[in-house]
Structure 1
Amino acid sequence: MTDHREGRADARSPHGVSRDDGTPDARIARRQHGVSHDDGTPDARIARRQHGVAHEAGTPDARIAHIARRQHGVVSRRQALEAGLGSTTVHRRVEAGRWVRLQHGVYRVGIVPAPLEWAAAVCLAVGADAVISHTSAAYLRGWMSGEPPEPPHITVPGRRPRARVGLRLHGVPSLATSEKDRASGFPVTGAERTLLDIASMLATRDLERVVAHALKNDELSVAQLDHLRARCRGRPGCGKLRAVIDQSGGARFTRSEAEARFLELIRSAELPIPRTNARLGPFELDAIWTRERVVVEVDGYAFHRSRDRFESDRRKDAWLMARGYRVIRVTWRQLTEHPTRTAVQVGRALEAATKR
């Protein structure tokens, strides 16, 4: 007698597989012939991997892959468990080397390391209140080049952090909103705070480069540097930072910034407004009162004052004095720290000129 069920199977499939009935034979046939639908069994998952079929949406691995794409290829253990992966599976993947531990409870799940995976791993490891700080924040801001600092620096407000392997933690009582920022997509300390933190960690030359970079890219203003100079009192590296900010240390203050500060001082003292950036003979002068024959030159906006610049200034002064001009040279420090004294000096020179 003919087995009608067998005949119907032959009619439906040249390979004799009538349907997925969950039997071992059905699963073997499915693997052999590339059938990749997911019935949730281990064999189905093996078949899917063998034939290059991507994880279906809604599976734990699909959810983890989606999370990792947003986080530079990194996920936390907690995220993996919430996505539906078992604790044992997480452990096995780490032990097998499929996942690489970057921080406590944080793993790289991709094959190729992302450039900023370290920052993503740090943020997942330390919690929402903490921010990347010190040289790590400077690196994310683009103030430093090369490899990211090891270990990463983290500032944690409100409590004394416990030591953790692979992290350099700094506890502070609090962080004001103005002391927080974002750089390269990550929470970091603000520009002023970052500069304060790294002052003791960098050589003077490197600190000069950082200050020049921050000014050039409008991450710090001259007014903020003035504030920092006073704020750093008693902190490690304060003397070095002040030396950089001061004219003698060579922080790069632009001519326009110096001119604006000087004119603000003249107006507040209710003195006559001079001509600025005026040509006289072969020279351009910062400020000149033509009738009174008084000239003010503001020093301190060259990154490094060279011998050539020094000698050029002396030639200019000699040329002006030979023609009856009084030359007053004002430093950036005088403008910012002793404005009243500076205004009095200029005012007396103008007054004396009117009596000649």
Structure 2
Amino acid sequence: MSRILSVLTAFDGIATRDQLVAAGVRGPEISFSVRAGEVRRIRRAHYAVPNAPAAAVAAVRLGGRLGCTTAARSYGLWDDADGTVHVSLPANAARLRTNRMLVPCDEPLTADRSTIELTLHWSDVAVSLRAPEESSWRVPLERSLGQVARCQARVDVIAAFESVVQTKQLSLEAAQQLLDATAPERLAGIVLHGVDGSGAETLLAETFRALGIRFAQQVPFDGVGFVDFLVEGRLIVEVDGYRHHRNRVAFRRDRGRDAVMLGRGVPTLRIPAQQVIADRFAAVRLVVEALAALAA
């Protein structure tokens, strides 16, 4: 791998000319690599590897960086996946005529989709004020969370902040302080718990709280381990995401856990994470119906 590709890779595929030069790449080397097709010039003084993500390229070409939920997703955090790409522009940037727009992709995202829908935020710092090591294609983690807190639905804000704790990118205390400092009137009263294993679990937990259903999370049982939820003290609810439950080993392990707990008089209800995400109230209805059946 050439030096310029190594530097671009270290910056996750996109870097400014200043970042390349600071890393030891000379100007003529940059020009030669562009002419040879080894790297792409996607904006004045901005360069990318050939397969850089289309969304990130679109954001940089517009003069901004990925922000809000799109940046949060790139950090491995929860987002509502509404289909748009959120772009953070400098606060002093010339305003466009709308905060939503469509831009063409160099290569279609899918067979029938050759444009990207953008949602724009004028809340980033000027390019000249960025730290030298800052990403040129996404805002820093804390800024992305701040943007999420200002524009997303309350439950999605909670899910994003819980996921940054779950992924150990911020401590529970730091995440709570950041949340409290951002849009305090809009988000008053939110308390993070740091026990949600996924965004889907956060959605389910918040719905339980809203409906007054008693539950505990990450409850340990001898010989079984931790369960996602113990609801009303008599029903285990597990939220199954595809990543951790997609093979035969996981299938057998889960059924073994369920059998042990059923033998102790505590049945298990498993709900796919996608079902919770699609309709969290319908998922809770399943839990309520199961509790009613147990009571009968």
TM-score (norm 2): 0.42
TM-score (norm 1): 0.36
Structure with higher Rg: it is: 1
The one of the two structures with greater contact order (alpha-carbon pairs below 8 A, sep at least 6) is 2
